[in-house]
Structure 1
């Protein structure tokens, strides 16, 4: 009798631990896969059988023709949104029901994370967004233009001076050093020159700050954070080493103190944030005034977020641009022709207006962001009860409760042939003046959507366009024997990376030899 009861208890435990959680969306009458299929995908994700973005594409493709479907990120239920009109509804029209991000990172007692714009929620997010928005307008980007221009020229000049026929480079590391210098000077008021000074403190601490762990160790941290953020916080699990966090905090605070004591004004992000703190910046559209004054910790947190996005995400965009140009030399030549025309008419130097006028450059960057968005998916948390009403035959109302999570799968949508024919093909012509009007704006979301859209997108595009303008005016980006063709994305990293690296060559253009 005892063994019978024990067996019964074990069966119940297995059911409630491993089966019942995967019935969540079925109970809400949303379509979802069979539980055994969900388990297969979960095991595949945990064991890293395939790259993460490929798993997400597979899940998206499991529900053809559906506007939404219930999916599970490990054990966390998420409603997958596949329909552009529904994406618009959730991220724009009914944004008040979905204002916050899903947070699976253990960030308690880490001000650099807790206080930055991405992780803030509700009214605190609104106040910070309205405070920061004026710092990222076109007019304010012009203030930062000169700093980035100097970094880009210095970067290209270094390789010009090498006097080698083909300079073979691992482009992830190369562009990360460039973005490090850009962020250091524009957000922290620090000059680094990471190409000539490869072991500078700023660069090394940036690498430490972004080292969340890879392989099994990284997956265990990821699982702990996903399954129980509260437990992860109690156990003291952190995604940024304390010494790296202190490094960035101390730089910002000492910089602020020095400027305020000595009346120093420098055209960079700290200056803009200090102006915002004084109430001297107003949102160009809303003229919103924050209720609370920015503290030094608030400013440090925003500068740190700016660093995280600029250091890694922008460098990722850059090395994918370089890769696509190297393997598509015809596209590279066409882009160089546009760059040559601009530079020849402006004495070899760029202005903000000239940079903004590069249409083919915009097309190349837009197509790169379609194929290789920096985020795997967008997420939103339901903060007020919401009903997705049936529109198509067979649909039933789906009642979302406070705390339910929405997932918008970028790789699924960006690779859906319904929106992008031959999605694996790199084709900047998709974004020509003639063709881009055919693209549903809610099927192209590299920077997000609605009020939560990436606030730094203008800055990211400006520095990318600038470095490639000077680089391609001087060099051809070429394939070498170490270039990975076809490109294979790593299975063990939680970002778009290649285990062997992104190796390419810089070859002086014939007219420059």
Structure 2
């Protein structure tokens, strides 16, 4: 029978293999079409990933404009439904959390990041979340504020040096050092003093963690062939530099050992001590997470500590930098913030936790920056009440929102209020308008945020 074929059997096999490969590459791409969900046309194997070359934000805006509030895209062969309909956002994040409990896990990140709080699933996530949530209560935040104020004063001292020298400076570097000091001090009781040492290893290693381009070859492999991430992990190859994780791992080990041998250290009320108190040895012995309803393992304590140390660095420093940038470009808005800061301090006699809670206009400016648009007043009480609460979710929503949200907000306000108490932010020759965002995993700023400060008269 094979002899009757008009061409060699080898060509038949090759054709069959080519057809099977093609169908393997494209078969997921009918998922959204079958459901009647619009979206940009995917490319075999890559899906819509190549469109990220113009930046993820720009691609999202173009799709939203063309396909409206619900559309589907593909990262490689992985279908991703993008939801902008506010009722659906509410359903997914709050009403139907039992059906949308877990988050997508990107392979190849390494054990510490892949098993962090944001990636934990089901009961393991619920147990861990309940263990660490008390660290961010109002009582704990007031205690942390006393430590935070010290680093905010150091932040202002740096601004003062720049003001005296009439120097241009990268606000992102200064804000990053401040947030690193706050995290180390409030969560781990460690004074790393990054504000006085720009080459501090905590800073240099944290920067490496976030400088991952979307078109890094390893990143492309993970999106196109996610299962290869597990294979590469066996050879010690991960998305994030292993030396960065090793550095913070060692730092956490040192702090934990210090706590174990010092009674005064063990009396702290910070994030790490709360985890240590929640330690459950049953989990260390391998008892199923489903059978143990409370506590955390020793591995989990280390893992979450490393992630917390890293996680609060980039995002908070970005917001501080961009808020200062917005205020520098909108002096009339900065005037109003300064008036508010002065009035509250005059009323209370000092700038503390309670004073920061009485600065709604400063909060508006921070929120506007979180929206990534130039400052205007969209967050007045009347505006917020008239707007659907799910139209603005800078820290997420529902049970899986950002656990450190209140700490981050307090950290932001302390730095900005302390700074505006003495200085004005102003643009300089190196200020870029508008800000350019790098095409990375996070909203990193291209070239930094260059400003000057002037002493208030």
> What interval of TM-score do these two structures reach, taking the shorter chain for normalisation?
0.7 to 0.9
- Report the CA distance shift for 1:293/1:495 in structure 2 as closer, same or farther (over 3 A): closer
- The residue aligned with 1:231 is 228
- Report the CA distance shift for 1:259/1:39 in structure 2 as closer, same or farther (over 3 A): closer
- The residue aligned with 1:419 is none
Q: State the alpha-carbon separation in 1 of the partners of residues 44 and 22 from structure 2.
A: 16
Is the 2:42–2:48 Cα contact (8 Å) retained in structure 1? Answer: no
Q: Residue 6 of structure 1: CA displacement?
A: 6.3
Is the 1:367–1:426 Cα contact (8 Å) retained in structure 2? Answer: yes
Q: Which moved more, 1:153-162 or 1:306-315?
A: 153-162
- Report the CA distance shift for 1:55/1:303 in structure 2 as closer, same or farther (over 3 A): same
Q: State the alpha-carbon separation in 1 of the partners of residues 451 and 246 from structure 2.
A: 36
Q: Residue 338 of structure 1: CA displacement?
A: 0.5
- The residue aligned with 1:453 is 401
Q: Residue 189 of structure 1: CA displacement?
A: 2.1
Q: Residue 194 of structure 1: CA displacement?
A: 1.4
Q: Residue 458 of structure 1: CA displacement?
A: 0.2
- Report the CA distance shift for 1:13/1:329 in structure 2 as closer, same or farther (over 3 A): farther
Q: State the alpha-carbon separation in 2 of the partners of residues 125 and 30 from structure 1.
A: 31
1:107-506 to 2 correspondences below 5 Å: 107-108=109-110, 110=111, 112-162=112-162, 164=164, 166-211=166-211, 213-214=212-213, 216=215, 218=216, 220-236=217-233, 237-264=237-264, 265-277=267-279, 291-347=293-349, 349-371=350-372, 425-427=374-376, 429-490=377-438, 492-506=439-453
Q: Residue 77 of structure 1: CA displacement?
A: 0.4
Aligned partner of residue 424 in structure 2, secondary structure = strand
Is the 1:166–1:508 Cα contact (8 Å) retained in structure 2? Answer: no
Is the 1:321–1:365 Cα contact (8 Å) retained in structure 2? Answer: yes
- Report the CA distance shift for 1:37/1:262 in structure 2 as closer, same or farther (over 3 A): closer
Which structure features the higher share of helix residues? 2
Residues 85-142 of structure 1, C-alpha deviation per residue, up to 9 Å, x if partnerless?
A: 011111111110110111114245x2x3244211111110010011111111222111
Q: What do you get for the CA RMSD once the two structures are aligned?
A: 2.6
- The residue aligned with 1:406 is none
- Which sections of structure 1, spanning at least 5 residues, go unmatched? 280-289, 372-423
1:102 aligns with 2:104: yes
Q: State the alpha-carbon separation in 2 of the partners of residues 499 and 203 from structure 1.
A: 18
Q: Which moved more, 1:471-480 or 1:299-308?
A: 299-308
Is the 1:170–1:501 Cα contact (8 Å) retained in structure 2? Answer: yes
- The residue aligned with 2:37 is 30
Q: State the alpha-carbon separation in 2 of the partners of residues 134 and 317 from structure 1.
A: 25
Q: Residue 359 of structure 1: CA displacement?
A: 0.7
- Report the CA distance shift for 1:252/1:357 in structure 2 as closer, same or farther (over 3 A): same
Q: Residue 54 of structure 1: CA displacement?
A: 0.9
Is the 1:165–1:508 Cα contact (8 Å) retained in structure 2? Answer: no
Residues 247-266 of structure 1, C-alpha deviation per residue, up to 9 Å, x if partnerless?
A: 22232233223223321223
Q: Residue 489 of structure 1: CA displacement?
A: 2.5
Is the 1:430–1:436 Cα contact (8 Å) retained in structure 2? Answer: yes
Report 1 or 2 for greater relative contact order, CA contacts < 8 Å, sequence distance ≥ 6.
1
- Report the CA distance shift for 1:276/1:346 in structure 2 as closer, same or farther (over 3 A): farther
Aligned partner of residue 335 in structure 1, secondary structure = helix
Residues 36-72 of structure 1, C-alpha deviation per residue, up to 9 Å, x if partnerless?
A: 7997953332xx2x222111221222212x5x32221
Is the 1:210–1:308 Cα contact (8 Å) retained in structure 2? Answer: no
- The residue aligned with 2:287 is none
Q: State the alpha-carbon separation in 1 of the partners of residues 64 and 46 from structure 2.
A: 16
- Which sections of structure 2, spanning at least 5 residues, go unmatched? 1-6, 282-291
Aligned partner of residue 504 in structure 1, secondary structure = strand
Aligned partner of residue 166 in structure 1, secondary structure = coil
- The residue aligned with 1:19 is 26
Is the 2:140–2:269 Cα contact (8 Å) retained in structure 1? Answer: no
Q: Residue 341 of structure 1: CA displacement?
A: 1.2
Q: State the alpha-carbon separation in 1 of the partners of residues 348 and 158 from structure 2.
A: 22
Q: Residue 161 of structure 1: CA displacement?
A: 4.0
The total of aligned residue pairs comes to 436
Aligned partner of residue 134 in structure 1, secondary structure = helix
Aligned partner of residue 79 in structure 1, secondary structure = strand
Is the 2:323–2:366 Cα contact (8 Å) retained in structure 1? Answer: yes
Is the 2:341–2:421 Cα contact (8 Å) retained in structure 1? Answer: yes
Q: Residue 344 of structure 1: CA displacement?
A: 2.5
